[in-house]
Amino acid sequence: MRRITQADLEFMRAGFAHAVGAPRTGIGSYCLSASNGGYALQRIVSDTGAIRTILSNGHVPARELHGLMRAAIEGMAEYLRSQPKSEPA
């Protein structure tokens, strides 16, 4: 099994942010936090830098966070596929 690197997590973070239409920087953007060998996906929620942890209750191993982000992206894609197609105006 291949090791999940910080670069792998950053790639998934960018995909997650794109999937939800988040800005690249500032309020509403997503970032990775690393602490004690674990990682967390966080969202900036205020102009003072307050954050909210997304997808877990704290820092988890890289492989676990990678799987959580992948599941969330696939879940969003499945939801969008299930929505009725709207007719052009």
Structural domain includes residue 63: yes
pTM for the model: 0.84
Structural domain includes residue 87: no
Structural domain includes residue 58: yes
The pLDDT profile of the chain, 89 residues, written as one tens digit per residue, is 899 999 999 999 999 999 899 999 999 999 999 999 999 999 999 999 899 999 888 899 999 999 999 999 999 889 888 988 877 66
Structural domain includes residue 1: no
**Cα separation of 61 and 7, whole Å?**
14
Structural domain includes residue 17: yes
Structural domain includes residue 89: no
Q: Which domain holds residue 10?
A: 6-81
Q: Taking a C-beta distance cutoff of 8 angstroms, is the pair 35, 46 a contact?
A: no
What would you measure as the largest C-alpha separation in the chain, in angstroms?
A: 53
The total number of structural domains in the chain stands at 1
